[in-house]
Amino acid sequence: MGNICFKEEFVQNDFVKLKFDEDDLQATSIQIEGREAKQKVKLSDFKKLKPLGQGAYGKVMLVEYYKNGIQKLYAMKILEKKNIKKESQIRHVFDERKILEKTDSNFVVKLRYAFQNHARLYFIVDYMAGGDFYYHIKSQPSVPDHFIKFYSAEIIFGLQHLHSLNVIYRDLKPENILVSESRHIKLSDFGLSKILENDNEKAKTCCGTIDYLAPEVLVNDGYTFTCDFYSLGCLIYEMYFGKPPFYSKDKKQMMENRIIRLVPFLELCSKEARDLLTKLLEVDPKKRLGRKGAQQILDHAFFKELDIKKMKDLQIEPPITLIQSNKVDQKIFKEKIPKTQSKKENLKIFEGFTYFQKESQDN
């Protein structure tokens, strides 16, 4: 997806290592507070179980923490420092770490630990057993209205929290929305997110996934939180019709169509959904629904059947059904592990990157 100004989806990597190498094991230790016996966490306390994904700067692994009777699954995001050399790339990494540290919402993943060695950076975050939202919408022949309303509201709760922290998400798409074991969603992957320093600042970087990108992101006039609500409109549209609006393999043509054409097929959904999508997919951000904040969207008639307060407190049963299993799929991947080079590259120490969260907050 996308072109030169957009996030790369994958990098080529023929090797999946399920054991930590010598470099990994030299990662900075972290003191954990809030436990009876204070312990230091290091990578040898985690066991790699399987790969969960691959990104432009590294990979994500499912890991198991087990020590002194404490056992828990986490997702470990491993970033290669050699891939993070430009000033803008370093800034994005630190912004992601800041955002993960600051967030405190039922609808955004939480950072548990962050540490580093001379070669790599490591984020340890919540493991979301339900996988990504993309699977759950694509595995249904048609997505029911109640499902769309319920999870659209939860996504808005997550965006509302990020915006309250002056964060523009900038990469809302089904693959970045994860489903927990309790079947609620959490927003993840803040590598492209932008922290605004004040209420008057605007973002100007052209980034995101083009299928969900707001038109104003492509121009140089700057944009703000409302770009996330255009992406929300694209996602809701996809749940109804199977693809984002104006979808085309010709990305340039797709963006042009967003600006000059009316949103297609809206006559096939309810009056409330039609009105919501028309207002979210408004080309002019100053006229777009959500310009007054996320609550303006939640007040729309589309969500009138939902008990918003109970939903925010996770008191409403989610519509997704997960197959319960006591075992993690530990399928062994056939791997060829490359030899570690003896000469260590002198890569920059990311000062202030290390982080831990108290056990009492780990929920």
CATH code of domain 133-312: 1.10.510.10
Please list, in sequence order, all residues whose beta carbon lies within 8 angstroms of the beta carbon of residue 216, skipping any fewer than 6 positions away: 223, 227, 285
Which strand ranges, in their side-by-side order, compose the sheet holding 58-67?
A: 46-54, 58-67, 70-80, 120-126, 111-116, 355-356
Domain ranges within the chain, ordered by starting residue: 22-127+329-354, 133-312
Cβ atoms of 290 and 229 within 8 Å: the answer is yes
Q: Which residue intervals of the chain are DSSP H helices?
A: 22-25, 87-102, 133-138, 145-164, 226-241, 251-260, 271-280, 294-298, 308-312
Residues of the chain with pLDDT under 70: 1-40, 56, 324-363
Residues marked active site are found at 171
Neighbours of 120 (CB within 10 A): 22
Please list, in sequence order, all residues whose beta carbon lies within 8 angstroms of the beta carbon of residue 274, skipping any fewer than 6 positions away: 266, 267
Task: Give the chain's end-to-end CA distance (angstroms, integer).
Answer: 35
Per-residue pLDDT, 270: 94
Please give the helix or strand (H or E) that residue 32 lies within, else none: strand 30-32
Alpha carbon distance 167, 47 (integer Å): 33
Per-residue pLDDT, 66: 84
Alpha carbon distance 342, 335 (integer Å): 21
Cβ atoms of 95 and 190 within 8 Å: the answer is yes
Assigned architecture for domain 22-127+329-354:
2-Layer Sandwich (3.30)
Six-digit token pair at 327?
């075992």
Cβ atoms of 113 and 97 within 8 Å: the answer is no
Cβ atoms of 25 and 304 within 8 Å: the answer is no
204 is in an annotated binding site: no
Rg (CA), the chain: 21
Alpha carbon distance 26, 120 (integer Å): 10
Per-residue pLDDT, 355: 57
Nearest to 176 by CA among 147, 194, 204, 155: 155
Question: What is the pTM assigned to this prediction?
Answer: 0.81
